Chain A
Amino acid sequence: MNTRLLQIAAVVLALIAFNDAFYQVNESDQVIITQFGNPIGTPVTSPGMHFKLPFIQRANRFDKRFLEWDGNPNQVPTRDKRFIWVDTYARWRIVDPLKFFQRLRDERGAQSRLDDILDGEVRNAVARYDLIEIVRSTNRNPEDVPIEAGEERVILEQIKQGRRQIHHEILERAASRMSDLGIELLDIRLKRINYVEEVQKDVFARMIAERQRIAELFRSEGEGESARIRGERERELKRIQSEAYRTAEELRGKADAQATDIYAEAHGRDADFYAFTKSLETYEKSIDPKTFFILSTDSELLKFIQRPR
């Protein structure tokens, strides 16, 4: 009975030992073997099943992948004394698990170290630059910037460094401080930038004022343009009417002259006879029943009333 119990215990122990001797390394893992807390050998990075001494050695797993770091939103003043909320993120990975294990023990320790280093570097960088440098990344050709309603030409200020440069600067400074931690910093970026409440109010007020200015511009543009069109209408009207008048009068004048020429040419043959015939015509036209004639018997017509010859 006793030996049987011992046998069972031995088998169970062997099973436990066997189970502890093998450990699985996943694609995303890297492992450091420690013996009584001391790291042994080189880190295991190839995935698959691996062997270690049971109980004596321990497998410490570290992630091989890019890991996240999400900064706390921070209220930071820029160089031009504007208070902004800055929210950052970074990507990093454990490149030297041994160093990492020695210096930071685990990811929790790493996160808090990253907090210290990255928050500080971000704060420094933001304080070193004007807000515009943090918001903008390139100097665009002013020609490419659409301009609204005859606004002034350069809306975008010129920048010297820009956001990308600042990212780069933070990355470089932070990475140099991390090299002895077994960490590689892949990237750090400003995720969000926002005005703090009080500044935001001012900015909104400015935006409103800007809009009002543009609205006024549109209105006066409309009034100006419509006045111009009305003026043009007036001018066109006068031009058309006067041109027509001129042409008409020219035509009339020419016709009158031509008629005069024709008459003169015809009547010139005998002006006296013309006067005579025209007078006769005029009599015929002007005499009507209301006319009262006083005729002297001496006249051409009546001279025969008194004497036949």
Chain B
Amino acid sequence: MREDVIDFDRLGRRIPPVSPRLIGIVLAAIAVLAVLFSTFYQVQPEAVGVVMRFGKFVRTSEPGLHAKVPFVERVQKVPVQRQLKHEFGFRTEEAAVRTRYSESDFAAESVMLTGDLNVAVVEWIVQYRVSDPYKFLFKVRNLDDTFRAMTEAVMREVVGDRTVTEVLTVGRQEIETRVVEQLQALVTQYEMGVTVDQVVLQDVNPPDPVKPSWDAVNQAQQQRDRLINEARAEYNKVVPRAKGEAEQAILQAQGYALDRVNRAQGDSARFKSLYEAYRKAPEVTRRRMHLETMERVLPLVGGKLFLDKDAKGILPLFSFDKLQGTVPGVPRGGGDQ
């Protein structure tokens, strides 16, 4: 621990004696430096310098290196090119790829009444620029607070004219443009020397206790769409097929019609030809046709019985199942073959 003890005596003794001449030179150098620093100043590219002589505004200077009267003139730099931003209802704590937001609650800023006397939680940002450095510096005290208060008042005025549904869904764009308009008018009235670039609504939500019921509405909406889609699907599954089948039935009927007419025409043509021939010798032809048919038919007949025209009461001679065999379509009747 001995090393920590500082021996002031020895330290003092080490400083060499200083001549008054040296002190004079150092003081002169400091004075020159002070004058130089007070004379030249630099204005950043995004800013403009406002020069005041004894507190009186004399000129503004553009970006670059400038000189002024030392000690008499003072410069205040105003970032006119930079876009400034205010956040309402939330605060960005650290802007990065994954931006971190403050955990604190800014509900007082974001909770507002809508035109149908409901409540919405609106978070938004305002971007603005300094357009008149003179007004910006000398017309309004505590410009930031004023600007925030104005913005909140205007936002509430605009939201207060809209229904909660409008605020939460379709009305966002319009709210943004209306707020910009009204805020700009107010800024001009207050001579703040700023221009409002844009207002962007961020999260716009119903209050937390009401949220589930909003979700339920969304759900119901999807359910509705699903039901309708399902019904449409069913419709589409059945109707086009039915159309095809209908066409099929019609085509089939057309086929039938063609078939029927053609056959009729064929039959009648045949009959006509036959008739023309028949007419020449009706009696003979008739007999011939009859006999020819019999000739073709009789060999096919399963059982035959020739009976004298005077024979009577022979029917009981046949067994019943033999007779049955004559009835077509009954399989067991084959005894006569």
Interface string of B223-236 (1 = CB under 8 A from A): 11111101110110
* Whole-angstrom distance between the Cβ of A297 and the nearest chain B Cβ: 5
Docked-complex contact B268 and A266, CB < 8 angstroms: yes
**Which residues on the A side are within 8 Å of B219 (C-beta)?**
215
Specify the chain B residue showing the minimal Cβ separation from A85: B108
Other contacts beyond A237-B239, A284-B293, A287-B300: 12, CB < 8 A: A27-B137, A67-B142, A68-B149, A156-B116, A207-B164, A215-B216, A237-B242, A251-B257, A258-B257, A266-B271, A266-B275, A292-B305
Interface residues of A in 253-295 (CB under 8 A from B): 254-256, 258-260, 262-263, 265-267, 269-270, 273-274, 276-277, 280, 283-284, 287-295
Q: Is B129 an interface residue (CB 8 A)?
A: no
Q: Is A197 an interface residue (CB 8 A)?
A: no
Docked-complex contact B300 and A288, CB < 8 angstroms: yes
Write the residues of chain A forming the contact surface with B, with a CB cutoff of 8 angstroms: 24-29, 46-49, 63-68, 70, 89, 91, 131-132, 135-138, 140, 145-146, 148-149, 155-156, 163-164, 186-187, 189-195, 200, 203-204, 206-208, 210-212, 214-219, 221-223, 225-230, 232-233, 236-237, 240-241, 243-245, 247-249, 251-252, 254-256, 258-260, 262-263, 265-267, 269-270, 273-274, 276-277, 280, 283-284, 287-298, 300-302, 305-306
Docked-complex contact A225 and B257, CB < 8 angstroms: no
Sorting the interface of chain B by its residue count into under 10, 10 to 19, 20 to 34 or 35 or more gives: 35 or more
Specify the chain B residue showing the minimal Cβ separation from A230: B231
Docked-complex contact A215 and B217, CB < 8 angstroms: yes
Please, could you name 10 A-B residue pairs with CB atoms under 8 Å apart, sorted by A? A48-B53, A132-B117, A146-B166, A219-B224, A249-B253, A276-B289, A290-B333, A290-B334, A297-B308, A305-B306
Q: Is B176 an interface residue (CB 8 A)?
A: no
Asked if A146 meets B171 with Cβ closer than 8 Å, knowing A215-B213, A252-B253, the reply is yes
Segment at the interface with A among B7-15, B19-27, B41-49, B320-328: B320-328
Write the residues of chain B forming the contact surface with A, with a CB cutoff of 8 angstroms: 52-57, 108, 111-119, 134, 137-142, 145-146, 149-150, 152-153, 156-157, 160-166, 170-171, 186, 189-191, 206-207, 209-210, 213-214, 216-217, 219-221, 223-228, 230-232, 234-235, 238-239, 242-243, 245-247, 249-250, 252-254, 256-261, 263-265, 267-269, 271-272, 274-275, 278-279, 282, 286-287, 289-291, 293-294, 296-298, 300-309, 322-323, 325-326, 328, 333-334, 336-337
